[in-house]
Amino acid sequence: MIDYENLHLLFVGGSGEKAQSCTDMLETAGYAVQFDQVQGIKDLEALFDKTDPDIVLYVEGAKIPELGTVSAWLVEHTADIPLVVVASEHATGSPVAMQSGAAAVVSLDRPEGLVSTVRKALDAAALNRRICQLEEAVETITLQQRIDQLEKSLQEKEKDCTNLLNNSPDAIACIYNGHYLYANPAYLNRFGIDDLAELEGTSLLERVNPDDHASLEGLLHSCHDAGDAVAEKIGLTDNKGRFHRTSVEFAPVRHENKRCTRMTIRAPAQAAGTELAPETIPGEQQFAGAYNRQFFMQIIEDSLKAPGKAGMYQTVTYVLLDDFRAIRENYGIYACDQAIKNITALIQDNYDKEDTVAQFGDYVFVILNSSENEERAYQLTESLRKKIKKHVTVVSGQIIQTTCSIGMCVINEHMKNAQDVLSRADLACEVARSSGGNLVHVHSTAIDEQIDKDLGPQSDAIIRKTLDDERLYLVYQPIVSLNGKTGICYEVLLRVVDENGHVILPGQFISLAGKTGMSAEIDRWVINSAIKSLAEEHHMDSDISYFIKVSGATLSDEKFPAWLDQQLKEQKLKGSAVVLEIPEAAVLRNPDITTSFITAVREIGCRIAIEHFRYASPKQQLLELAIDFLKIDGPLIEDLAYSSENQARVRSVVDFARTTKTQCIAERVDDASSLVTLWQYNVDYIQGNFVREPGKEPDYDFKDAIALHSLAET
């Protein structure tokens, strides 16, 4: 109970005698009382301008404002000051008074009731104020914690951005008010500048050919006015006075919280149509002693052409460090780099010198191993899993530990190329990760052997039994914006389990279905399941879309649009929530059928994406189609950091998309260097393991997508 020794009362209405009578009762109970009395709202307002009473006592009478008016004014203008109604006669409780906002109703003929009621009202008001104070304190603490987290995240993002810019092959500088604010190493090297301090604060015009000054000023203004990148050739001089006329791209950005212009000179592209010969592929160690993707893939190709020693098994092991993105957020870039270096050394120590270790992404390693048998290869892999689990990295007093998900496959005659091998190992790793992580999963070769056989009628039975046994499920991979757009997008992917419980490549299963004419039935199973999932998600967030693949068989199915419309109506979904993905090859093979299909599904509101796009289709043919998205073919993205030819192709896709007002999606984005390059090329969306691996639930936190956008933009 709160002890009020001194009370300040405010009486609204009533006579002075009644006010004095109430005061006497409270003083008799031991309170020191001061009171004021008002007869109207204006007097009430005037009094509250001078002081705040502890309690308001509304005395019933005819010549005063209504109780509801007084109660409403108190709620709007004061803190939690209780309102008690003083009845002329004994009151057992007035519903009207309570409904009007009164805390209680008392009568003057019961002094003990008045004292008790005032005491309880004051106690309740004090308690409410304390609760409000605690809530405000909790809210303040929570807000401060969130601010601290955001500041820490921002610091890490700034470090990330610095690393990305420092490692970019493109020459990049930031200009503020016509002066250099920042330049990356590639820019400094291009112009023979030894140190950034030599350039900072100097005028850009000093390095620009005077004939281009007027053009440059126009470019700087136009890129900010348009809010987009512009490019033009201008003359620049290096530190030795040599003149360079080159194409420069200008784009509006924010750097160090300033409105700047990013100046980019692209790294020279390799001539179109040429390829890197195997002996020219960079075999340098990419990071901490591990080879890069391009070199490793060439090693796999060589292994397929020339198998290892007789009696030896060659395996590819795909290692993904579990939850390492979250660890990086918590511990910072430097600490995580140290951990990755240590884990790289641990992996190399686990295998022989003849084995090949490569780093494919920020948290992904791949190993080509030769062993006496499959069991020995599995033992090595399991040994690696245990070592990584036990490993501890200590950096500046911080202890970093993680586990890993590992997929393993044996190279055999059923595998056609390096990508084929990697896809199996990657899928096996996904199975290990989606099963909880800290696990080794071995790819089953049973379905490989089935597909290579001429099974005839058995193929149909295999597909039918898979459907009947419901040995299919969906996984979801987020598609996130690189330009800050809101919206939640996932690609829906099919996963298939064989009779032994092993997850198999969906491409193999679909290939088998295609041979039996059952592709359209598989499509309907996927779409029906996806729409049901989408409807559940719409209960929580209506701003969500699913990208769903369709096969050539579905494109030819004249009944499909009506069936799809019915599925959407049953789940009360708009067609715009579904984006149907059509392979570029299907567009080329059947342009008339594709056009008819797109027209039909657009009538029910669905959107269209062309996937596996390599800019092979004739321009005019695509211009005639109503396309919403172009998904750049994955292999172009995987080697983006190493292949100038791929860089040129990706830029050509983006340039074409801009002319058709179509949005671009880059898939298979697995590393930070690809992210920053794609942002520089103005790609709209990215998808890949760098964002997140496919999961059984569409539960990606798209706040991370905003962080990715900020990371790339800075």
Question: Cα dist. 36→53, 67, 71, 103 in Å?
Answer: 9, 18, 18, 20
Q: How many residues does the chain have?
A: 714
Q: How many CB atoms lie within 10 A of CB 652?
A: 13
Mean pLDDT of 634-659: 82
Residue 310's φ and ψ, nearest 5 degrees, are: -60, 135
What pLDDT score was predicted for residue 97?
Answer: 67
Please say whether the beta carbons of 561 and 604 come within 8 A: yes
More confident residue, 664 or 169: 664
Q: Over 70: is that where the pLDDT of 446 sits?
A: no
* Structure tokens, 372: 């006496």
Residue 710 has pLDDT above 60, yes or no: no
Report the pLDDT averaged over residues 82-87: 84
pLDDT of residue 53: 87
**Domains along the chain?**
6-133 (3.40.50.2300), 170-265 (3.30.450.20), 273-443 (3.30.70.270), 472-714 (3.20.20.450)
Q: Tell me what pLDDT residue 275 has.
A: 36
Would you give the DSSP letter of residue 500? T
CA-wise closest residue to 674 among 653, 657, 662, 691: 691
The mean per-residue pLDDT over the stretch 675-700 comes to 85
- What average pLDDT does the segment 288-292 reach? 65
Residue bearing tokens 């870039």: 333
Structure tokens at 104: 């209680």
Q: Are 399 and 432 in contact (CB under 8 A)?
A: no
What's the rounded mean pLDDT across residues 202-222? 84
Percent of the chain with pLDDT over 90: 17
Residue 581 near residue 603, CB atoms below 8 Å: no
The helix (run of H) or strand (run of E) holding residue 234 is strand 230-237
Residue 309 has pLDDT above 80, yes or no: no
Whether 91 has a pLDDT exceeding 50, the answer reads: no
- Alpha-carbon 442 to chain mean position: 30
Range of lowest pLDDT (63-67, 300-304, 316-320, 584-588): 63-67
- Mean pLDDT for all residues in the chain: 80
Q: Residue 572 belongs to what H/E stretch? A: none
Under the banding of pLDDT at 50, 70 and 90, the label for residue 108 is: low
Residue 487 CA to chain centroid, in angstroms? 10
Does residue 90 register a pLDDT over 70?
no
What pLDDT digit, counting tens, does each position of 245-265 carry? Answer: 888 888 888 777 778 888 888
Q: What backbone torsions phi and psi does residue 652 show, to the nearest 5 degrees?
A: -70, -35
Helices (H) and strands (E) in the chain — how many of each? 26, 28
What is the three-class DSSP state of 398? strand
Angle between helices 111-167 and 333-350 (to 10 degrees): 60
Whether the per-residue pLDDT at 339 is higher than 90: the answer is no
Tokens of 232: 């033009």
Cα dihedral 580/584/590/591 (nearest 10): 80
pTM over 0.75: no
CA distance 628 to 489: 14
Alpha carbons 479 and 481: distance in angstroms, whole number:
7
Q: What is the residue type of 498?
A: D
- Select the more confidently predicted residue: 334 or 450: 334
Per-residue pLDDT of 610-646, as tens digits, reads: 998 876 555 566 667 888 999 998 888 877 776 778 8
